[in-house]
Amino acid sequence: MPVNLNVPDPASLLPVPGVMLGIAQAGIRKAGRKDLLLIGLEPGARVAGVFTQNRFCAAPVVVCRQHLSMIDPGQGIRALVVNTGVANAGTGKDGLARARQTCAEAARMLGCAPSQVLPFSTGVIMEPLPVERIIAGLPQCRDALRADVWADAAAAIMTTDTLPKAASRRFNVGGATVTVTGIAKGAGMIHPNMATMLGFIATDAAVSQPLVKAAVAYASQRSFNCITVDGDTSTNDSFMLMATGKAAMAEIADAKGAEYAAFRDAVTAVAIELAQAIVRDGEGATTFITVRVESGRNEDECRKVALAIAHSPLIKTAFFASDPNLGRILAAIGYAGIADLEVEGVELYLDDVLVAERGGRSPSYRESDGQRVMKQSEITVRVVLNRGKSAATVWTCDLSHDYVSINADYRS
């Protein structure tokens, strides 16, 4: 079971004015499951996204980047189409043609240009996208469009996820009430190098296109780029932010203003909740681990240390076994890439337990204390470098027998 993660209450997921969602069972890979999502946007919505840095990026990623570069400020993106089951990655020119065919069919159905549609896929890599099933399912999605089905939408984009992931917030900007609601999918092939999954956040805030783009980059760097399950960066990673402008407010256009900060922080809060849900639902995970590195010279070196710890299979398997073999953490700190690190200044804590200081085991440390902490389902690893004032946080999970079983049987 996921680590302290529950199915989101549909009533808690707030509709976003200007956004409609429709779901269908298209039989893309397996019959009898929701596997196709259409997100419809009213004219004038501002949309921006960040995508995988994997050079074998999927065909829908290529098409999304192209369509976003063609945005007409007077028209904007009108629809997003998301399918599960087949990733349409490693499929060459044929994959690009099928992604574009999806956009063309959705555009014909909705009465917009193909460049106003963004395609997204997730599932098995290097298999042809059954575009004919998507085309057959799109009318069902259109006919089912509603504003209050975010929970169903979250379920429709799942692959190896055991639970859907969704979150909502309301906040005030200049006296106006603004809504932010988002969904995400991901449980494996999770490693921060952009967004490491599929994520979609919508808001009715009125925000200029440049600031929507700035906000999605800011939020991803502090949320989805701070998680890792297994160190694998997917071919299909995409994180999108949609701002419909339907709230009763003046457009936010000043990056230095309080209104933009409030908007950006609300989006980031939803993104963090979704990102942490992905780790809590990590394939086979039994422990949710926060890795906090403090007192570094800069954020980059703190991040290097945090990721070295979070990526280590030896550390992750020790957490699965609740084995306080914590010298493995010191080893990861040492190979993280800080050439001039003075190990005598490093302090290592497991929750409130001081494990190591002055280059070795703390005289006050007792293995029984480490054992006590490692039996918890949520643990914080805190590293104090004592080199400066910067910090970074990464979220990860343990590595269990079930992770191997899930991925060994993924295609069956």
Mind listing the pLDDT tens digit for each residue in 149-179?
999 999 999 988 889 999 999 999 888 999 9
Classify burial at 47, counting beta carbons within 10 Å of its beta carbon; exposed 0-12, middle 13-18, buried 19 or more: buried
Please state the pTM of the whole predicted model: 0.93
Whether pLDDT at 110 is above 80: yes
Strands 288-296 and 378-384: parallel
- Count of beta carbons in the 10 Å neighbourhood of residue 330: 18
Mind listing the pLDDT tens digit for each residue in 8-40?
999 999 999 999 999 999 999 989 899 999 999
% of the chain surpassing 90 pLDDT? 78
3-state SS assignment for residue 274: helix
- Count of beta carbons in the 10 Å neighbourhood of residue 70: 12
**Stretch 42-59: mean pLDDT:** 92
Element (H, E) at 158: none
Inter-axis angle of helices 313-320 and 299-311, to 10 degrees? 60
Q: What is the mean pLDDT of the chain?
A: 92
**Stretch 249-258: mean pLDDT:** 96
Q: Could you tell me the pLDDT band of residue 47, with boundaries at 50, 70 and 90? A: very high
% of the chain surpassing 70 pLDDT? 94
pLDDT of residue 284: 72
Q: Out of 84, 196, 203, 287, which one is annotated catalytic?
A: 196
196 assigned to active site: yes
pLDDT of residue 195: 46
Token pair belonging to 10: 């549909």
Mind listing the pLDDT tens digit for each residue in 78-92?
999 999 999 999 999
Q: Could you tell me the pLDDT band of residue 401, with boundaries at 50, 70 and 90? A: confident
Cα–Cα distance list, 380 to 59, 119, 170, 263, 281 (Å): 38, 38, 29, 29, 18
Whether pLDDT at 41 is above 90: yes
**Stretch 374-395: mean pLDDT:** 96
d(CA 331, CA 333): 5
pLDDT of residue 192: 56
pLDDT-wise least confident of 43-52, 194-203, 308-317: 194-203
* 88 φψ region: left (φ > 0), alpha (ψ -120 to 50), beta (else): left
Mind listing the pLDDT tens digit for each residue in 309-344?
999 999 999 999 888 889 999 999 999 999 999 999
pLDDT of residue 64: 97
pLDDT of residue 399: 84
Whether pLDDT at 235 is above 90: no
Q: Which residue has the higher pLDDT, 277 or 403?
A: 277
